[in-house]
Structure 1
Amino acid sequence: MTLASYHVPEFSPVADEAAIVRGDRFRFTVLTPRLVRAEYDPDGEFEDRPSQVFWHRDQPVPDFEASRDDGRLVIETEAIRLEYAANEPFAPSTLSAHVRELGSVWHYGDDDLGNMGGTVRTLDRVEGSTALEPGLLGGDGWTVHEDTDRLVFDADGWVTPRDAHEDYEDIYFFGYGHAYLDALEDFTAVSGDVPMVPRWALGNWWSRYDHYSDDQLRELMTRFREEELPLSVCVLDMDWHVTDNEYHNGWTGWTWNDELFPDPEGFIDWLHEEGLRTTLNIHPAEGVYPHEDAYPDIAEHMGIDPASERPVEFDASDTQFLRGYFEHVINPLEETGVDFWWIDWQQWEESPEMDGLDPLWALNHLHALDRTRDDRRPFILSRWGGLGGHRYPIGFSGDAYISWDSLAFQPYLTATGSNVDFGWWSHDIGGHFGATGTPTGFGELYARWAQFGAFSPINRIHTGNIEYIDKRPWTFEPTVRETLGETLRLRHALIPYLYTMAWRNHDRGVPLIRPMYYHHPGTELAYHVPQQYYFGSELVVAPHVRERDEATNLARQTVWLPDGEWFEFDSGRPSRAGLHARYGDLGDVPSYAKAGAIVPMDGEPGFGDTAAPETLRVLAFPGADNTFDLYEDDGTSRAYRDGEYATTTLRQSYEPGQVELTVEAATGATEHVPETRDLELCVRGVREDLAVEIDGADGSVEYDPEARTQEVTIPAHDTSSSVTVRLAASDADVIAAEDSRLDRVRELLRHLEIPARSKSQLDDYASAFVAGERTDLDWLGNFRERLTGEQARAIVETLCDVGVAHLDNAETERILLWNGDGRTDVTYRLSTFERGEIPLETEGDIETGPLPALRILELDDLDGQDWTLTVEYADAGSVSFEGEGEAESYEGEIW
């Protein structure tokens, strides 16, 4: 039996003959100016069927030249020059490529030392960081994907091993230099696009592995609504189904537990009425046993007599089983109203019945396609199944340990996953279980994790079945509770922005979360800030992922802002480009908008409501011209593929004395846009004393001094017309130019546990320093007996662009030293010793002096050496780091 038609995707695997250069034993296919497929086969037999990764080789033929001279083949495009000794097996001496942009050269077999990483199958049993699989982007300008052993799709639409010569090779050369976004766009062109995620998926999810009953969940969801904590998805984990049986441990199950859910359809109807979607967690590995409701039908489908009670074994290679699995197990369960599936596959990685077939990949592929049978989007929750997994959003990163190290790793993992265009990650926000139980200060850790979740692709709060872990926001003390509430409401407010980024991911292959080097590839520092990322096209986020320091009572994060003007997203404070240390209380989330940024939001985010907003709030940040095309469609179907969507262009124009913000008329399928909507047009980071004009509507004006925002409210605006708000200054710039250092020092002093008299004295000195009345920091030495090294560091780093940071949240650890102000009174001493030597008995190698303007110290470079690094802050205190070669470095004592 073959698969159903909707389980077979549309392929276009045969390249245009004009793109092919061939010989007796080789074939090269020029897919784009930077992407070339290379095949070698002693029999001259080549593969035209789609592989698991590459589906669409029929691409527009790029300009290229192919020449042969003396048995040497040369293929040249505008971007690369490829050379090959014709008909010879691939080897370093026979196949090479030159990347013009960087001047780098690849030879067949070269180690990809510059690869910037991809992602990982799962974080199960991982605490902190772990090694990632290779990605598609390389710092040397090239990467190579080996496709030789990938399965291919046969005529019936299912995969099969290749019948190829043992020496056959099939590789894809990516020569993109630093054009990282181009690489992702071309990759999705040849491998399949990233589908649009449903709009409702971008809200907050509630998930817990627990023995919930339908009454308990109704009560819980109602409490979230009453607390004005918006949700859009209610997850049903493991125990929705019968677990007690005589056949296996109950991990696999397909029959509703009627003791917990006596009326599943009625319960799911209730969720839908509340505006919530739901998923069921499934573990398919055990197949279907006689105690399941679905057993008689699937047994007969497989030719098994149900009276025999012989189990229907799981077999990802058998299309008969796969078709029965969906038609007799999955589809009937969906009739109760299930919106999507959480495929929690944790078992074997290769099918015993077919070499090379990963059951996880098979489940992801078919479950995603099965949803399209009734025009729904191919949306699932499952672990990463390998390159090409971007076609099956979204990713479940696995059972996260509850620890600061696990939280710290997730921003890096999420951003780096974009290097294989797997951007739609869903993490266990708050963690699944603890290696040694719940840590002290869990409320702080949970709040910080939730803040990252608000600025991550999917915000799924999750908890394991541990009795003493409770993530209901109202169970925490007031500060944590307030932070969680603000965070959840912010997430729902951001849905218009997030959904537009989802469209860009589908349309252009540009992920929501992006490493800094995507937009600043020529800046070395962009490759060494794994703690931060672009959040869409307009924002940079560096969430706090470490607990507050006992000396300052504040969390600390290092932030790099690239050249240009920046504003704090929430306060509108202008921020200088460069490296900064940011200290913040529990409500602080380091997030920044670039000059000209436009961020559309829902002005009235509500529980269970993720639709196109009735109140559109637009945040605009002055300093540059910009446009933003707000995307809206029906939120669930695949009609977007036929152009059934609307866009509303938001436009900002800026000159120093004036800024204009325009909301243009909606275009396209405007039935997806409210006929009228209230507008809240907010220009953030500007002065209060500006003249405000409104063209095309009537509205009111109010200034918010805390957010430095001029807010224009226009009720019931006709979305088929445009409106412009103009802010003008009678003198100077509209931007609220200010030096916020003194305010930050005062915020810092309020949290320091030092004598109040010392705080007043420090305030006086800091005020004089900010005013330029003194430029030295000698006055800090007066407080040496009262300040710890960390406290002195915080004051200096807040006043000056100078500091040190130990970044240990990625695969490679590094220390950053910076001194943007060129100060000579902040010094460092780096001592290195042969491993095992005692520093007091040997001089070793010592570097000392004022902090450099920028120093990136990769700890791998200290392999085999013991080392210490001390930074002295104006004779007021110091901080020290130390480590051992070939061992984890750690932050040492503060002296």
Structure 2
Amino acid sequence: MITNTELEYKGNLYPNSIVGFYRDTDKLYFTTLNGVILEVTILRDSVFRFRYATESIFEPDFSYAISDNASLGYNHLEVEETETEYLVHTAKLKLLVDKKTLRTQISDLTGFIICEDELGFHWEENYEYGGNTVKMSKITQVTESFYGLGDKATHSNLKGKRVSNWVTDQYAYGKDQDPLYKAIPFFIGLHHEQAYGIFFDNTFKTQFDFAHERRNVTSFWADGGEMNYYFFYGPTFAQVVKGYTNFTGTPELPPMWAMGYHQSKWSYFPESNVRELAAKFRELRIPCDGLYLDIDYMDGFRCFTWDKNHFPDPKKMISDLEKDGFKTVVMIDPGIKIDKDFWVYQEGIDNDYFCKRADGAYMKGKVWPGECNFPDFTNPAVREWWGGLYKEMFTDIGVHAVWNDMNEPAVMEVPTKTAPLDTRHNFDGHPCSHRKAHNVYGMQMVRATYEGIKKHVYPKRPFVITRAAYAGTQRYSSTWTGDNVATWEHLWIANVQVQRMCMSGYSFVGSDIGGFAEHPSGELFARWVQLGVFHPFCRVHSSGDHGDQEPWSFDKEVTDIVREFIELRYQLLPYLYTMFYKYSKEGIPMIKPLVYFDQADPQTHFRTDEFIFGEQILICPVQEPNAQGRRMYIPRGTWYDYWTDEVVQGGMEKWIVADLSRIPVFVKEGSIIPKYPVQQYVGELEIKELVLEVYYKNGVETSMVYEDAQDGYDYKKGRYSLRNFNFRGKKDELIIQQYKDGTYITPYETFEINFHGLPFKIMEVWVDSELIDTKDLKLNESNNIHISKDFTVLHILGV
């Protein structure tokens, strides 16, 4: 018999030999001699869940991260026992569980090893707090790369890095500083063109070591709770990310205005300044949909109040702004000022809604209003109450959206920057300390906000923003990457962070364009806007301490460049909206790093700058001052330069000319890109014609355009328009087939089709087998035609 002493190494304890096994439908249980139980749940043929219990006891099975809508079910499950191991077979994978050590190994059906334990599961008793520190170590392949983990401000490939997850208010953080505002303990591993993912669903502080301490070992551990992780098999990067995103969920479609350009600052006040800001946007013809009010709109920073000196009639102001196309977004923080005359505070006290310390006193912390109490958002009753607090703000005053900030929770004047670890939480009926609840506090706050606002804005769709997040928060809210700095390095960081967030299941994300802390030069601001308009969430935000940061705050050249790129975003709104539809419906990230786009090309594994916007547009920001161009890697395939229509072959680095007025933008051949006319705000114009930019390819390609009423829930009743286009090109002809779905009738009746790169002159145009007179099509030398939106087959012949 092996004793616990023999199983100890550097204070760690390990499972010993398996003495029991049984199967309960989709769950497999392996019990060791020293009381460790491994529960393996077969969720899909390619998705396994691993839970480990010590002393034969599992904790209650509860998760804030996993979506109720996750797809479950497998096609095949067979368990075979040999003298030395248990072999588990599904339709896609083989799992080996070693009888002597409880270590596991996962391989594909050919026997190729995808992921295997090194030391495997081990633990160390935590005598200070109780429970265990739980650990897992895996063998790292020589060629293996690692990605994911949310908003880390470091290189996209995490090989050789050690990072931690403990949501933290990190004002003006630097490159490689860690941890930051979000805890998303999910990573993707890639080796030998095989991708897999691991989601460590543990809300305690978690840490990940990607071959940092030992070059052949990747490990992850938590300060408490269970070793509870999900394994997702690809073999493609896309399948892994989609699988994880399906389990942690996607948001509903937001209103289209939420995808427009937004302007924010700490702070726009009083009311006259807000009105002047709005008027300037319209005067200069710079599109904008959202204006943000930071904490100075409140009465003494008390949430859910208005400073009547600065904003004497907020309802009228918001109504007037809305008439001119602006939506008003206000900030709400979690800290509630301790003030017996403050109705929100008194309700919280009367109903015992605030967090308490271990010995029963209320948890206090200083934030903007001074000393505050903090609602326990892990309590369902508190979430219901909090959601109800927004009613007056939305139904009476007319606010359009809310921005939850400081919800890590951030606490001032204490070294930890947050709540004491002995703070108690309900945790939806599983009482715990702040050690366990900290990483989900902001998530549950914004969940309460989202669920409340959803009721108050119905039949419109809600729009909510959060700073702090845990895995799955994407179901409730958009987000941004926190208090960055106006430097060129932070422009690079913002680019990497948004790519990383998107591959971590959280696509509705952007950065504070231009930098929050300090003040950018006009050149840096222009370059940041050029990047930011290609991020799913597009907002300028600054501290305001170092000068103004509006589009016109610099010289005329910068203003004109900024206007042009914001106009381009508004033109691409139908493309962006379709991206969001695919994300919401299928879990396809809106921004794709090159390694996601082509994992078989090793050149993509360490690229940080270039990314795919949606499915078909390649973006590469300029991230250095005084640049007249840059070298970039163009992925394999054939691409059109968006600005010149020059055709370039990928799979190589290339110097691209890009003065301050341009950044490298390329379109994949065969693409059909939809465009709207430039609007000053979403809904300003009735769309008379949808523009389709068609990029010729000698071959086959598919494209999609999704549209609906741009707000409301009729799309869930089938009132949407989904157009799938199949493109087939040959040397002297092309065919576009359109397949339509949905009952929504778009306001326009025709398409303007602009052809790029046609190798022939158009001689005949056939629509649904009928030869059309080219005069009726308004055909011109630019190869533009206008045809009915209802065509099924467009057949063009040339010479």
TM-score interval w.r.t. the shorter chain? 0.7 to 0.9
1: CA distance, partners of 2:400 / 2:63: 29
Q: Secondary structure at the match of 1:545?
A: coil
Q: CA deviation at 1:297?
A: 5.0
Q: Is the contact made by 2:760 and 2:798 (CA closer than 8 Å) also made in structure 1? A: no
Q: Secondary structure at the match of 1:136?
A: strand
1:365 is aligned to 2:434 = no
Q: Is the contact made by 1:229 and 1:607 (CA closer than 8 Å) also made in structure 2? A: no
1:652 is aligned to 2:715 = no
Q: Deviations over 1:708-763 (max 9, x none)?
A: xx32245xx4x4x2176555442xxxxxxxxxxxxxxxxxxxxxxxxxxxxxxxxx
Q: Secondary structure at the match of 2:753?
A: strand
Q: CA deviation at 1:643?
A: 3.7
Q: Is the contact made by 2:387 and 2:451 (CA closer than 8 Å) also made in structure 1? A: no
1:124 is aligned to 2:152 = no
Q: Is the contact made by 1:597 and 1:620 (CA closer than 8 Å) also made in structure 2? A: yes
Q: CA deviation at 1:321?
A: 4.0
Correspondent of 1:145 among 196, 199, 205: 199
1: CA distance, partners of 2:669 / 2:701: 9
- The residue number in structure 2 matching 1:353 is 424
Distance 1:213 1:417, change over 3 A: same
Correspondent of 2:791 among 722, 726, 730: 722
Q: CA deviation at 1:135?
A: 3.4
1:460 is aligned to 2:539 = yes
2: CA distance, partners of 1:370 / 1:412: 33
Q: Deviations over 1:751-806 (max 9, x none)?
A: xxxxxxxxxxxxxxxxxxxxxxxxxxxxxxxxxxxxxxxxxxxxxxxxxxxxxxxx
- The residue number in structure 2 matching 1:264 is 314
- The residue number in structure 2 matching 1:212 is 269
- The residue number in structure 1 matching 2:279 is 222
| Matched AA of 1:175 | Y
Max Rg structure? 1
1:18 is aligned to 2:25 = yes
Q: Deviations over 1:640-688 (max 9, x none)?
A: 4444422123342211122344566x531224x21x3442211123368
1:66 is aligned to 2:79 = yes
Distance 1:481 1:372, change over 3 A: closer
5 Å matches for 1:343-492?
Answer: 343-345=404-406, 347=410, 348=418, 352-354=423-425, 355=433, 356-358=436-438, 359-373=441-455, 374=458, 377=461, 379-434=463-518, 438=519, 442-466=521-545, 468-473=547-552, 475-492=553-570
2: CA distance, partners of 1:288 / 1:686: 69
1:316 is aligned to 2:316 = no
1: CA distance, partners of 2:465 / 2:353: 31
1: CA distance, partners of 2:115 / 2:353: 58
2: CA distance, partners of 1:491 / 1:545: 20
- The residue number in structure 1 matching 2:658 is 584
Q: Is the contact made by 2:702 and 2:727 (CA closer than 8 Å) also made in structure 1? A: yes
1: CA distance, partners of 2:711 / 2:342: 31
1: CA distance, partners of 2:24 / 2:685: 46
1: CA distance, partners of 2:199 / 2:545: 42
Q: Secondary structure at the match of 1:452?
A: helix
1: CA distance, partners of 2:422 / 2:268: 32
| Matched AA of 1:650 | F
Q: Is the contact made by 1:230 and 1:607 (CA closer than 8 Å) also made in structure 2? A: yes
Structure 2 unaligned spans of 5+? 1-22, 32-36, 121-135, 152-166, 206-223, 355-370, 411-417, 426-432
Q: Is the contact made by 1:112 and 1:138 (CA closer than 8 Å) also made in structure 2? A: no
1:567 is aligned to 2:640 = yes
5 Å matches for 1:175-190?
Answer: 175-177=233-235, 179-190=236-247
Q: Is the contact made by 2:291 and 2:327 (CA closer than 8 Å) also made in structure 1? A: yes
Q: Is the contact made by 1:199 and 1:611 (CA closer than 8 Å) also made in structure 2? A: no
Q: CA deviation at 1:425?
A: 1.0
Q: CA deviation at 1:608?
A: 4.1
Worse overlay, 409-418 or 487-496 = 409-418
| Matched AA of 2:437 | L
Q: Is the contact made by 2:258 and 2:463 (CA closer than 8 Å) also made in structure 1? A: no
Q: CA deviation at 1:629?
A: 2.6
Distance 1:372 1:380, change over 3 A: same
Q: CA deviation at 1:394?
A: 0.7
Worse overlay, 277-286 or 531-540 = 277-286
Identity of paired residues, percent? Answer: 19
Distance 1:70 1:365, change over 3 A: farther
1: CA distance, partners of 2:271 / 2:496: 37
Q: Is the contact made by 2:289 and 2:327 (CA closer than 8 Å) also made in structure 1? A: yes
Structure 1 unaligned spans of 5+? 1-15, 152-165, 244-249, 305-309, 705-709, 731-895
- The residue number in structure 2 matching 1:885 is none
Q: CA deviation at 1:271?
A: 2.5
Distance 1:332 1:628, change over 3 A: same
| Matched AA of 1:139 | L
Q: CA deviation at 1:378?
A: 5.5
Distance 1:18 1:640, change over 3 A: farther
Q: Is the contact made by 1:298 and 1:325 (CA closer than 8 Å) also made in structure 2? A: no
Q: CA deviation at 1:443?
A: 1.0
Count of matched residue pairs: 661
Q: Is the contact made by 2:779 and 2:785 (CA closer than 8 Å) also made in structure 1? A: yes
1: CA distance, partners of 2:55 / 2:687: 61
Q: CA deviation at 1:393?
A: 2.8
Q: Is the contact made by 2:47 and 2:232 (CA closer than 8 Å) also made in structure 1? A: yes
5 Å matches for 1:239-318?
Answer: 239-243=296-300, 250=301, 252-287=302-337, 289-292=339-342, 294-295=344-345, 298=348, 300-302=350-352, 313-318=374-379
1: CA distance, partners of 2:139 / 2:486: 34
2: CA distance, partners of 1:563 / 1:407: 26
Distance 1:544 1:221, change over 3 A: same
- The residue number in structure 2 matching 1:171 is 229
1: CA distance, partners of 2:197 / 2:760: 52
Task: Name the Cα RMSD after superposition.
Answer: 3.2
Q: Is the contact made by 1:661 and 1:725 (CA closer than 8 Å) also made in structure 2? A: yes
| Matched AA of 1:515 | P
Distance 1:368 1:333, change over 3 A: same
- The residue number in structure 2 matching 1:805 is none
2: CA distance, partners of 1:566 / 1:319: 51
